[in-house]
């Protein structure tokens, strides 16, 4: 694969209607192998809870299986929702993964719950009262363990030297879709992955991150990746039809109804009943969606990279048919190879 930026994958392990969560998890492993063979740089798995359409409840489990099923591609979380966890437990888990798969493990961290308030409460160990909103403190403690730089007087400082995967460590990223996450990433000297598929107006946020970035021993400069929703097919019309499944699911999500990913024909009937159609507007009209044939999607991803000044674009794709999802990533890869070949031939 050749592109002016790295291409990577963010997988939410979608559950198609008529299949099971177990099927979705096996599809994730299959897609990871496929995209590694295509030359994608990184494969991240998301964290969502109590969602009938997504099987990505435990990224740390999937990461180990995916890394064992592949040999080169970087594997990580997109992300671990830190408010649910003890920083020490996260440090130990990703230290172990790094020890098992040296130089290949990423720890993407997020603040969002990845679920509804009731499920978030169910995830708590202590339910006497809601957990405090102390993400900056959690992040600092976690980084202190991984980098062994907690203050000597810190009661847990000695625990950093007991991490099971030492001397290997994961590459830590901060995920976000808001100015606050960009500020934390900049102040912490962390690479920053922006969720364009949640908030397509993040170019100024990414620019602010770069401006406020503070050099640290971990990073010589700011790094930005942008995660964007995309579907590629042989024609624009085919891609728009595939996108109808996500459009139906997102429409019902806004109504508080969570469903597995519906088949295309069912989704088209639903959208028609709502007065809509399988249009390029994508899964949400207020969100960016890059949908079309290879040339269209290549141009769209290049625009995302320019908007963010991103060194990397992570492609998020949800379709009902697993083979269509694999084909989408294949066509995107081929589009950049073809473009590079044409450019070299012209010069």
- What one-character-per-residue DSSP string does 77-138 give? EEEEEGGGS-HHHHHHHHHHHHHHSTT-EEEEEE-S-SS-HHHHHHH-S--SSPPP--HHHH
What residues are paired with 44 via a beta bridge? 10, 76
Residue with tokens 């230290």: 95
CATH for 6-236+289-346 is: 3.20.20.30
Global confidence as pTM: 0.92
What is the DSSP pairing of strand 105-110 with strand 171-176? parallel
Q: According to the model, what pLDDT value does residue 281 have?
A: 43
Beta-carbon neighbour count of residue 73 at 10 Å?
22
Q: What is the pLDDT along the chain (347 residues), one digit of tens a residue?
A: 545 899 999 999 999 999 999 999 999 999 999 999 999 999 999 999 999 999 999 999 999 999 999 999 999 999 999 999 999 999 999 999 999 999 999 999 999 887 888 888 888 888 888 888 899 999 999 999 999 999 999 999 999 999 999 999 999 999 999 999 999 999 999 999 999 999 999 999 999 999 999 776 666 789 999 999 999 999 999 999 999 999 999 999 889 899 999 999 999 999 999 875 544 444 445 568 999 999 999 999 999 999 999 999 999 999 999 999 999 999 999 999 865 534 444 54
Question: What integer pLDDT is reported at residue 279 of this predicted model?
Answer: 47
Helical pair 179-188 and 135-147, crossing angle rounded to 10 deg = 30
Q: State how far the Cα of 308 lies from the Cα of 303, in Å rounded to an integer.
A: 9
Q: Over the range 1-40, which residues count as b (16 or more CB within 10 Å of their CB) and which as e? A: bebebbbbbbbbbbbbbebebeebbbbbbebbbbbbebbb
């Amino acid at each position: 694969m050749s592109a002016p930026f790295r291409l990577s994958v963010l997988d939410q392990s979608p559950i198609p209607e008529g299949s099971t969560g177990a099927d979705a998890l096996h599809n994730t492993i299959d897609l990871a192998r496929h995209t590694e063979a295509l030359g994608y740089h990184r494969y991240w798995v998301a964290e969502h809870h109590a969602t009938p359409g997504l099987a990505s409840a435990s990224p740390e489990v999937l990461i180990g299986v995916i890394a064992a099923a592949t040999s080169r591609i970087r594997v990580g979380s997109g992300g671990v929702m830190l408010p649910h966890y003890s920083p020490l437990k996260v440090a130990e888990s990703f230290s172990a993964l790094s020890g098992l798969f040296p130089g290949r493990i990423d720890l993407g961290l997020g603040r969002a719950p990845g679920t509804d308030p009731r499920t978030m409460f169910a995830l708590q160990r202590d339910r006497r009262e809601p957990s405090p909103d102390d993400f900056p403190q959690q992040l600092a403690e976690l980084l202190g363990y991984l980098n062994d730089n907690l203050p000597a007087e810190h009661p847990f400082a000695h625990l950093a030297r007991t991490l099971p995967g030492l001397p290997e460590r994961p590459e830590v990223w901060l995920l976000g879709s808001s100015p606050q996450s960009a500020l934390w990433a900049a102040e912490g000297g962390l690479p920053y992955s922006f969720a364009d598929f949640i908030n397509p107006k993040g170019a100024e946020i990414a620019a602010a991150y770069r401006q406020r970035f503070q050099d640290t021993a971990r990073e010589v400069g700011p790094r930005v990746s942008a995660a964007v929703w995309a579907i590629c097919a042989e024609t624009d019309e085919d891609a728009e039809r595939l996108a109808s499944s996500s459009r139906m699911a997102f429409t019902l999500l806004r109504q508080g109804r969570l469903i597995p990913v519906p088949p295309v024909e069912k989704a088209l009937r639903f959208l028609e009943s709502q007065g809509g159609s399988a249009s390029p507007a994508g899964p949400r009209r207020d969100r960016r969606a890059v949908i079309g044939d290879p040339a269209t999607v290549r141009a769209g991803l290049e625009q995302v990279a320019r908007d963010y000044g991103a060194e990397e674009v992570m492609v998020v794709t949800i379709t009902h048919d697993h083979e269509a999802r694999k084909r989408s990533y294949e066509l995107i890869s081929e589009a950049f190879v073809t473009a590079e070949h044409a450019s070299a031939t012209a010069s």
